[in-house]
Amino acid sequence: MMGSPYWVPPEMIRNHIHSFPVDIWSFAVCILELFLSNPPHPESPVKCMLMAATRGLKDQIPETATTDAKEFISSCLTVDPDQRATAEQLLKHNWVLQQNLEEGIEEILYQIFLSNSLSVLGL
């Protein structure tokens, strides 16, 4: 295993055979981080791994996300990798196909970078 524990999928934590669905899980955690401005359970990578391996991380999907965004992230964070959405399915999802999605992503990235910059400056 390599990388941050926040993005490790349940099957890797459980030391099960794994394949492409691990990337879908990690991708969803990255999206969550954009929504939350932090990884899930930022107070503890061990807690994040424990929750991922037992209950999953769907409870971390923010209420402020649109219904399509919630469905998209939820389909990526399915604990059972055989039931997890595939890249092909995700590329056809309403959330990805909506017009002007990039504008929302730009706003989220701007807020993250502004917040982090102000924090570094002590403001």
Q: Which CATH class is domain 5-98?
A: mainly alpha
Check: CB of residue 50 under 8 Å from CB of residue 10: no
Residue 56: what pLDDT? 93
Q: Which of 64, 75, 72 is nearest to 107 (CA)?
A: 64
Would you state the pLDDT for residue 11? 93
Q: What pLDDT is stored for residue 109 in this prediction?
A: 67
pLDDT at 105: 66
Q: What is the pLDDT of residue 97?
A: 86
Distance CA 77, CA 79 (A): 6
Q: pTM for this structure?
A: 0.78
Backbone phi, psi, residue 36, to 5°: -90, -15
The rounded average pLDDT for each run of 10 residues, N- to C-terminus, in the chain (123 residues) is 77 90 94 90 90 93 94 96 96 85 67 68 69
The whole-number pLDDT of residue 72 equals 96
Per domain, the residue ranges of the chain are 5-98
